[in-house]
Each structure stands twice: as structure tokens, then as C-alpha cells.
Amino acid sequence: MGAPGPNDGAQRRRLPRTRRITRPDQIRALFQQGKRSRTAHLDVFDSPSPALHPRAGVVVPKHRQTIVRRNRLKRQLREIIRLELLPRLVDASVSADLLIRARREAYDATFNGLRDELVTYVERRWRPGSSSC
């Protein structure tokens, strides 16, 4: 085998395609049928997943922000999903679809604040012994 290329590790750091919700019909269904919960900066919609594993999607409305701020917020939320939420759901054997929609207040939140909100949400929603999903 040859020397590792500059992008060899990049694939491992990405949110796998099978764990993403991107299709408009799936997003609409979660908005309409998912259980909605609010945190200080986010709306989280969840429902049982038709897949045998957890999946997640992110919606970041413009809220009169620049595209740079919007993209940064999307990247931060995806990173939190990849590093914190999906591993916790897998460890808890939860097969759920999560859709995270940023509210206007999310643009002013810190990365750690958003992470703490979402981790707390997942731990409360799917704590051991709960009958959810």
C-alpha cells in the first residue's frame, strides 16, 4: 500500500451518509409528525427511525444572518451530532430520527452551549429505563 493521502482521514471525520436526513420529504415528515422539544436555542424533532440505526438532520434558517454565520452554525451542529449525539444513541440502542432546527437565538450561542443543550436533551429523552422510541 502507498503512503496515506491528504484526504484519507477526512472520510472518517465526516457524518456518514447513512446517518444523515437530507431529503425534503423526510424533513417535512419529521416537522409534521415528530415529537417537538425546545431547548434554549434549538427546536428538536424526533420520531422512530425506519432505518435500523439513528439518523439526524439539521435545518438552519437564515434569520437575516450572513451565509458565513449560517454555514458555521450548520457545521457546528453537524459536528455535535457526529461526535456526541449519534454515538450516545447507538450506545443506548435507540433507532430514532432527529431533526435539529436552529432558532434565531442559536446564532449567538457558543459551541459548548449548543453541545450541552443537545447532550442534555438526548440523555433526558432516552435515559435508561425510558420507553421512548
| Of residues 105 and 127, more confidently modeled | 105
Domain annotation covers residue 84 = yes
Mean pLDDT score, 46-71: 93
Is residue 96 in a domain?
A: yes
Model confidence band, residue 55 (pLDDT cutoffs 50, 70, 90): very high
Question: What pLDDT sits at residue 106?
Answer: 96
Of residues 53, 46, 43, the one with CA closest to residue 17? 53
CATH code: domain of residue 92: 3.30.230.10
Q: What is the mean pLDDT of residues 32-61?
A: 93
Residue 70 lies in a domain: yes
- Kindly report the number of other CB atoms within 10 A of residue 84's CB atom: 15
Q: How many domains does the chain have?
A: 1
Query: Alpha-carbon distance 95 to 86, whole Å?
Result: 10
Q: Is residue 98 part of a domain?
A: yes
Q: Is the dihedral of CA 111, 116, 122, 128 positive or negative?
A: positive
Domain assignment present for residue 11? The answer is: no
